[in-house]
Chain A
Amino acid sequence: AQSVAQPEDQVNVAEGNPLTVKCTYSVSGNPYLFWYVQYPNRGLQFLLKYITGDNLVKGSYGFEAEFNKSQTSFHLKKPSALVSDSALYVCAVRVYSGAGSYQLTFGKGTKLSVIP
């Protein structure tokens, strides 16, 4: 089955420390991968995507993600966490849903808490 998994429900990190939010995927063919962030009572905001090319993708707000084909992973990273980064981070993968259509399948999300 085509899917995406976020193994951690919650990640806590101290302000100023590097952060990693994990995502693994299972799709047939070349994966199209995405990260979104969701602040409380807000919709999802696009952070970055991997379609093809460099395995290290840079996105908004200083975030980056590393695509690793052999490990089927697309972990989100930031060198120095800010308190304002505290939010829900959701990984997504484009999956083929038949009849020429593709949809996004989302992970359940990882709640990031940055501690001052």
Chain B
Amino acid sequence: DTGVSQDPRHKITKRGQNVTFRCDPISEHNRLYWYRQTLGQGPEFLTYFQNEAQLEKSRLLSDRFSAERPKGSFSTLEIQRTEQGDSAMYLCASSPSEGSKAYEQYFGPGTRLTVT
């Protein structure tokens, strides 16, 4: 069990550019979640997948944001035409959908995005 990994750990981009983040969940977990966390706040839910199906999207997720999990393994989160307000830590988490740990989400280290 290597844990949830995210890449890159840090990203600095200019306003208007597109960025893409990757998340690799724990291999046996079929649920994958994306959150955004700003300084001094708890994580805010963005979206989640069960296998390759995107089951829910928060209203925080504007049409500039898109997430995919094409083969039910890793996931990508893309932000188009970045704005300074997008600067935040983007967290990925995974969990199983069954069993005693079904309600436990395991988080990656996050990708810190800075939009200049």
Contacts and interface: CB of A to CB of B under 8 A. Distances in A.
A112 to B, nearest CB: 14
B91 interface: yes
A74 B59 CA distance: 28
Contacts of A97: 56
Given A90-B42, A106-B42, A109-B41, A43 B110 contact: yes
A43 B91 contact: yes
Contacts of A104: 33, 45, 105
Contact of A103 (B4, B45, B107): B45
Q: What size tier do the contact residues of chain A reach?
A: 20 to 34
Interface residues of B, number: 22
Interface in B70-116: 91, 93, 103-110
Contacts of A90: 42-43
Nearest to B47: A103
A5 to B, nearest CB: 11
Nearest to A95: B45
A94 interface: yes
Contacts of B109: 41-43
B48 interface: yes
A9 B39 CA distance: 12
A29 B104 CA distance: 19
A72 to B, nearest CB: 18
Contact of A43 (B4, B56, B104): B4
Interface of A: 9, 32, 34, 36, 41-46, 49, 51, 90, 92, 94, 97, 99, 101, 103-109
